[in-house]
Structure formats: structure tokens, C-alpha cells
Amino acid sequence: MKTKINELLKENGRTQQQMADYLGISQASFYAYTIGKAEPSLEKLIKLADYFDVSLDYLCGRQNKNIVPLDSLTPLQRQAINELRTLSDDKVNRVIGYIANLKEVPITDIVEKIKNS
């Protein structure tokens, strides 16, 4: 579990202090989770899973991948997944790159550029 917690902190750009504050515990207590000296209570595990939008199984290392239940997706998100299934790996990588670019540039900047062209 300590590995997953550390990975999620890094992936999401969060500090131990931020997460300790969110969980309502000391930074030292959270640090103990990250080095495997202590285990979070079920209540804290659920809060962490909800915060990072992962399953408890993923957080506890019972799954290698973070699996999102299909029923939690919107119809449009399900349609996008079905479309991705038809693409080659090369094209899926291009889509992932496109999504990454969308996340880096605020939509307001894009709209402003279109207005000014």
C-alpha cells in the first residue's frame, strides 16, 4: 500500500502535509503510511481512494491497474472507450497525447486564440 500511496502523491502533485490535512491527521502519521510503519484505518483508506478516484483494491495493491467500473462512466465516456478499442496502439498513443495537450492548455486560452484569429 505504501507504494501506491507514494505513486498517487507523485502523480497528483500532492504533498504529505496536504494529504494529512485532508485526512485530519498529523504529517508524521501520514508519513508512517508512506513508509509502511502504519496502516490507515478503513475510514482513512476510503477517503484516500475517493480523493484519488481509485478503488480500494488498487490502493491496497490487490490490482495492478486502477479499474473504473463502466457504470460509473457517462454514456459519452463509454462511447469514447468503445471507439478507442477499434484503434491501433499507435493511434491510441496519439489520442493520449492529444488529451495530455488538452489538459495543459486551459480551454479559455484556446477559445481566446480562436476569437483572435
Query: Which tens digits make up the pLDDT trace of 16-70?
Result: 999 999 999 999 999 999 999 999 999 999 999 989 888 888 888 887 665 667 7
pLDDT digits (tens, 9 = 90+) for 78-100: 888 889 889 898 898 888 888 87
Q: Is the pTM here over 0.75, yes or no?
A: no
How far is it, in rounded angstroms, from Cα 30 to Cα 21? 9
Q: Quick one: pLDDT band at residue 112, thresholds 50, 70, 90?
A: low
**Considering only CA atoms, which of 62, 37, 38 is closest in space to residue 49?**
62
What does the longest C-alpha to C-alpha distance in the chain come to? Answer: 57
Q: 2-59 domain in CATH 1.10.260.40?
A: yes
Q: Where are the domains of the chain?
A: 2-59, 70-116
How far is it, in rounded angstroms, from Cα 82 to Cα 95? 13
